[in-house]
A and B are shown apart, each in its own frame.
Chain A
Amino acid sequence: MSVPTEQLLVLSALLFSIGVAGFFVRRNVIVVLMSIELMLNAANLAFLAGARHHASLAGEWQAEGPVMVTFVIAVAAVEAAVGLALVIAYYRRKRTVSLDQLTPTLD
């Protein structure tokens, strides 16, 4: 694939800002968690774009980018599991997943 690195970074920026928009606009906790996953994916794409660029410049492959991506994927899985467990615990108390109802429960 001869797509330049800049275009990969532009795609990553687009996905990240869509995730940011979803994070701030939506009130459903589950959709907010999905937006966070989108942002993590955008970061992964940027890591790999950098790794490919570096490999093409140096002529040899470096493991840093892909290793970092595997760590990000592990942390994303952890974040999804903990976040969704919190959502279930929250739903059990309040019978809703709307973030607007969250503040009064903290008292």
Chain B
Amino acid sequence: MVDLLFYVAALLSVLCALGVVISENPVQSVLMLLGSFLGIAVIYLLAGFQFLAAIQVLVYGGAIMVLFLFVVMLLNLGDPEVQADEPLFHGRGRVTGGLGVALAALAVLLTASRGTALAPVETYLWPEGGLDPLLGMAEAMFGRYVLPFEAASVLLLATAVGVMALAKRQRTKRAIAPAPLESKEAAA
């Protein structure tokens, strides 16, 4: 029963991932990506990683998805008229090249996962509280991995500052540029 649920979630995430790449409308792509993330969250839950499943839903399904959806809506990319001049798979060379690289990556990864010769496991560990008790994770994160943790916090701060600098409008240039346009309109 649980295994069947895994295969359903895996099928959902793969089909939604295909939908992200195939669908012409960016809004549809974003919603397909959400479906893929939720399928992966279900797999985390089934594999015993409850906390990471929650994080997956909150951060990916919540924050990142809202960010993507916000930008798509802000730029009005869901509008069919805006999309009309953007053929989906433009250029035969690009499509064949991209699919070739993707198939090569798939072949390499599959060969690698076969070639690792994983030791056989009779029963997979699935303790009562799941595989990721928060205490163990917290001890590792604030003990052995405290330096990467601090680096991640610095990275987040730098991102907040950098994104604000990027997204800020240059008002000085803008203030000069529209003035002649307005005078032309007034003259017309």
The answer to whether A and B belong to the same complex is: yes
Given the complex of chains A and B, what is the CA–CA distance between A4 and B133 in angstroms? 22
B105: which A residues are within 8 A, CB to CB?
13, 16-17, 20
Given the complex of chains A and B, what is the CA–CA distance between A91 and B166 in angstroms? 12
Given contacts A17-B103, A67-B141, 4 further A-B contacts (CB under 8 A): A1-B3, A26-B21, A31-B21, A34-B20
Residue on A nearest B72 in the bound complex, by CB: A30
Given the complex of chains A and B, what is the CA–CA distance between A27 and B124 in angstroms? 42
Is A21 within 8 A of B102, CB to CB? yes
Is A25 within 8 A of B94, CB to CB? yes
- B-side interface mostly: helix
A86 within 8 A of B: yes
Given the interface pairs A30-B71, A41-B37, the reply to whether A56 lies near B51 with Cβ below 8 Å is no
A102: which B residues are within 8 A, CB to CB?
none
Total interface residues on B, CB under 8 Å, equals: 82
Given the interface pairs A1-B6, A71-B148, the reply to whether A19 lies near B63 with Cβ below 8 Å is no
Given the interface pairs A52-B47, A52-B125, the reply to whether A61 lies near B20 with Cβ below 8 Å is no
Contact with B110, one of A10, A44, A88 (Cβ below 8 angstroms): A10
Specify which of A9, A10, A20, A57 lies most central, judged by the most chain B CB atoms within 10 Å of its CB. Answer: A20
Q: What is the CB-to-nearest-CB distance from B68 to chain A, in angstroms, rounded to a whole number?
A: 7
Residue on A nearest B116 in the bound complex, by CB: A9
Given the complex of chains A and B, what is the CA–CA distance between A22 and B17 in angstroms? 9
B29: which A residues are within 8 A, CB to CB?
30-31, 34
Given the complex of chains A and B, what is the CA–CA distance between A44 and B47 in angstroms? 13
Specify which of A25, A27, A33, A84 lies most central, judged by the most chain B CB atoms within 10 Å of its CB. Answer: A25
Is A66 within 8 A of B106, CB to CB? no
Is A48 within 8 A of B47, CB to CB? yes
Kindly identify, within residues 7 to 34 of chain B, every residue whose CB is under 8 Å from any CB belonging to chain A.
10, 13-14, 17-18, 20-21, 26, 29-30, 33
Contact with A80, one of B47, B67, B156 (Cβ below 8 angstroms): B67
